[in-house]
Amino acid sequence: MLENVISDLIRKQRPYFIIQGNPIKGTGDRIWLVFKHRDADNLLRNIVTFLGLKGKQVTHKLLCIDPKTAKVFEYGPRRPGNLPSAILLRTGNLKAIDNFLNLEGTATEKALLAGSFRELGRQRRKFSLPDELDKYNQLFVKCLERAVIYRRSNETISASS
């Protein structure tokens, strides 16, 4: 599922941005994608931008996918071409990485929510039984469908003599 989300994000960026290298798995199970603008190395564009005849365009874009919260964060470099290294993206915390990047936007990726407990959202967790037994059973079934491991134990109580 995560691979599909990554390929969709790459496809959405493709007309203007080209992915640089492979996705980088960082701390906290975050996935980093580094993109470079297709005209970033264009000499004429760089001269026009340097002379101030046209507004500065972003040369790079970084996307951070957080599977735990199902959010995609979009970052741009604070200074053109000044990007965190792959090692920093892999091992660094967000405070160290924020020295290089500006957060430009955040979006929730619905495909990461599919089939997870977060998809259940804010459904009621308290029920008055036996009046709401059907609602309780429906929620319990939805939770069991999403569970990866189900462990059940029986406790035997023995009377000591």
Which pLDDT tens digit goes with each residue over 51-109? 554 545 668 899 999 988 889 999 998 887 788 999 999 998 888 888 899 899 999 88
C-alpha gyration radius of the chain: 24
Whole-number pLDDT of residue 143: 77
Q: CA-CA distance, 9 to 74, in Å (whole number)?
A: 11
Whole-number pLDDT of residue 117: 65
Any bridge partners for residue 61, and if so which? 35
C-beta of residue 40 within 8 angstroms of C-beta of residue 80:
no
Percent of the chain with pLDDT over 70: 77
Q: CA-CA distance, 32 to 26, in Å (whole number)?
A: 7
User: Cα dist. 73→8, 9, 31, 125, 138 in Å?
Assistant: 15, 12, 10, 30, 34
pLDDT band (50, 70, 90) for residue 22? very high
In the chain, where the domains are located = 2-113
Over the chain, what is the mean pLDDT? Answer: 80
Percent of the chain with pLDDT over 90: 21
Least confident segment among 29-33, 106-110, 140-144, 152-156? 152-156
pTM of the model as a whole: 0.66
